[in-house]
Amino acid sequence: MLLDTHCHINFKDFKEDADEVIQKAYNEGVECIVVGAEKDTSKRAVQYAEKYERMWAVVGLHPVHLFGWEYELDGQIIQSSAEEFDYDYYKNLALHNKVVGIGEVGLDYFRIPDGESLESVKKRQMRVLEEIIELSCDVKKPLVFHIRPSKGSFDAYSDIMSIVKEKGVEKFLLHSYLGSREQAKEFLQAGAYFSFNGIITFKNAEEVRDIARYLPLDRILLETDSPYLSPDPFRGKRCEPAYVKYVAEKIAEIKNIPFEEVAQITYKNSKMFFNIE
């Protein structure tokens, strides 16, 4: 059994065939956690989790959705709506028994909307993140962080480190980790878990493989970030949860251990991190 801890079956890319894609994943022994990015996708994540037995949801407000703009992601134009963080709305979703975490939330300094500066973006994202961390404590569900530093820097990772220390956050997941090795060490000591996706299979991702080699397997989770970041040999095509096995294969190769061991341990880690029975 494998667990794709971060997929977006709830996004419009799967509008026509989500059920088939989910069935295909089940047939291949893959269970999923569906992750929201704003109000509508968070609500849909919960609806999928209600519909399928071995499926769970994570709900939250992605930092890019604090601004109303369009940006490119993995070859697609994404529209985002300037959403205010509505504590009660998210709390209501978060209390659902199939909701296992708060995410994806965090800091994104890479994409700066027109009319904003790095400073204004930081300020706004930090303010909202403080409220989100409060929600996570309130409902006792762990945080799933999306962290993207500004070009050529690790700034957003340093900032998240300061916040988790200041707020005393003891358990959190760094989704699609792309920080430095030194920061990975510090995050490990702070109790972080790390999830890897198709990026780990990309030719130019030697640094990501180095991090995965360095991290103990008991802190690693698997994900796809579907519909984005399809692993080789599907790079550029729509990603889907069934492809999580390519991520597991690559980690087995990097760590020189059997695929089964990666599958078993990451599955156990995921269940423990998200408190899934």
Q: Which stretch binds Zn ion (CB under 5 A): 160-168, 206-214, 220-228, 258-266?
A: 220-228
- Binding status of residue 108 toward Zn ion by CB under 5 A: no
- Min. distance of Cβ 35 from Zn ion in angstroms? 6
The Cα diameter of the chain in Å comes to 50
- Binding status of residue 223 toward Zn ion by CB under 5 A: no
DSSP three-state, residue 48: helix
- Binding status of residue 240 toward Zn ion by CB under 5 A: no
DSSP three-state, residue 159: helix
- Min. distance of Cβ 43 from Zn ion in angstroms? 16
Per-position b or e across 239-268, b if 16+ CB within 10 A of its CB: bbbbbbbbbbbbbbebbeeeeeebbebbbe
- Pick out residues in 27-56 that bind Zn ion (CB under 5 A): none
- Min. distance of Cβ 199 from Zn ion in angstroms? 12
Site size with Zn ion, rule: CB under 5 A = 1
| CB-based contact 166:159 (threshold 8 Å) | no
Axis crossing angle, helix 118-139 with helix 155-167, rounded to the nearest 10: 40
- Min. distance of Cβ 261 from Zn ion in angstroms? 26
What is 132-146 written as a DSSP string? HHHHHHHHT--EEEE
- Binding status of residue 13 toward Zn ion by CB under 5 A: no
- Min. distance of Cβ 73 from Zn ion in angstroms? 10
3-state helix vs strand vs coil in the chain, percent to 5: 45, 20, 35
The residue from 225, 244, 247, 248 that contacts Zn ion (CB under 5 A) is: 225
Q: Which residue sits closest to Zn ion, CB atoms considered?
A: 225
> Could you list the residues that contact Zn ion (CB under 5 A)?
225
